[in-house]
Chains A and B, each alone.
Chain A
Amino acid sequence: MSHLSHTLSELQAAFGTDIQAVSEFRGETTVVVEPTRILAISQYLHDQLSYTFLADLAAVDYFPEEPRFAVSYVLFSLAQNTRFRVKVFLEGDEPSVDSVSGVWLSANWHEREAYDLMGIHFNNHPDLRRILMPAEWEGHPQRKDYPLGYEEIQFSFNWREVDGTKSYAKDRSE
């Protein structure tokens, strides 16, 4: 029995209906779990099933579908050479989920990135600040309903109009 099928059967035995769906695509196994139970499931995967390495933590915006957000945890077992993905779906525009930075320390910065760019709040995170954008930035720019901040391109026919809207450093008093 491979470690992957062992993982699945152990998880289903331990957590039952909290494991909402299991899917496989091109050799990658994904389980969708109940968001409120993510901390217990992570701890179990880390301690009992040797998934000691969090390879990636990513947030997804499915706007305008509902539930809108998903967080996916890509795990790797160094002992068994097995990859495994856990996914939670989060409702609403201000989603929150428990932080797993106590289980895998590397989740700290990954969760800060997901908070910064997607606006997902991680409960009990030790230091939930922006990590990429400037600290005083408003909004979460990787959300699908966030404006792109497009600036009109200057060509010869509209050079004057666009140039009038720009604020040049050389025009300001130093």
Chain B
Amino acid sequence: MGAEQKLGNMGVVTARLEDVINWGRTGAMWPMLFGLACCAIEMMASQTATHDSSRFGMELMRASPRQSDLMIVAGRVSRKMAPVLRRLYDQMPEPKWVLAMGDCASCSGVFNNYALVQGVDEVVPVDVYVAGCPPRPEALMNGFLTLHDKIRKEKIGKWS
């Protein structure tokens, strides 16, 4: 028995606007095609048929920041790259989220030296950190789902 029979033939469903908007935002979140190091290989693997991130509406990696909602920082960020990263983030339209993938993006991992930014949260505001060196696609998808949970709790006035 389908939902139509259960609800009767009203053609109307009531819900909170906030819930519907957040549901829409979680359902088709396009990540930016932007890999910095070895984590990008696992990010690509999460797109493949085996792991299939299109289940979450994320199969489209956009090569332009203007079309993307999620920035996956996949890899270590050098101090020379940091202004570029920030500029890409500034070019993304709101609402936008950042996922720091792997130890290097989260806290610079094993590279505690002059050349790398010690955690990408010094450059852009990070929503979800995914641990691992590199994290497996399953871990990355757990990060996606954690982000979805976070977005479902967002208030409607958060984004201007």
- A164 at interface by CB-CB < 8 Å: no
Q: A149-B114, A153-B112 are in contact. Are A133 and B80 (CB under 8 A)?
A: yes
Q: Mark B18-56, 1 if CB is under 8 A from A, else 0.
A: 000000000000000000000000000000000000000
Q: Which residue of A lies closest to B81 (CB)?
A: A134
- When distances are taken between beta carbons in the complex, the residues of chain B under 8 Å from A166 are 118-119, 122
- B125 at interface by CB-CB < 8 Å: yes
- A148 at interface by CB-CB < 8 Å: yes
- A35 at interface by CB-CB < 8 Å: no
- When distances are taken between beta carbons in the complex, the residues of chain B under 8 Å from A170 are 121, 125-126
Q: Which residue of A lies closest to B80 (CB)?
A: A134
- B79 at interface by CB-CB < 8 Å: yes
Give the secondary structure class of B's interface.
loop
- When distances are taken between beta carbons in the complex, the residues of chain B under 8 Å from A132 are 80
Give the secondary structure class of A's interface.
loop
Q: A133-B80, A151-B118, A154-B107 are in contact. Are A169 and B113 (CB under 8 A)?
A: no
Which chain A residues (128-174) contact chain B, with CB distance < 8 Å? 132-134, 141, 146-151, 153-154, 166-170
Interface size class of chain A, counting residues whose CB lies under 8 Å from the partner chain: 10 to 19
Which chain B residues (121-136) contact chain A, with CB distance < 8 Å? 121-126
Q: Which residue of B lies closest to A152 (CB)?
A: B112
A170 to B115, CA, bound (A): 22
In this complex, how many residues of chain B approach chain A with their Cβ under 8 Å: the count is: 16
- When distances are taken between beta carbons in the complex, the residues of chain B under 8 Å from A153 are 112
The answer to whether B112 touches A169, judged by C-beta atoms less than 8 angstroms apart, is no
- When distances are taken between beta carbons in the complex, the residues of chain B under 8 Å from A148 are 112-114
CB < 8 Å neighbour of B114 from A141, A154, A167, A169: A141
CB < 8 Å neighbour of B112 from A133, A147, A150: A150
Q: Mark B92-130, 1 if CB is under 8 A from A, else 0.
A: 000000000000000110001111001101111110000
Write the residues of chain B forming the contact surface with A, with a CB cutoff of 8 angstroms: 79-80, 107-108, 112-115, 118-119, 121-126
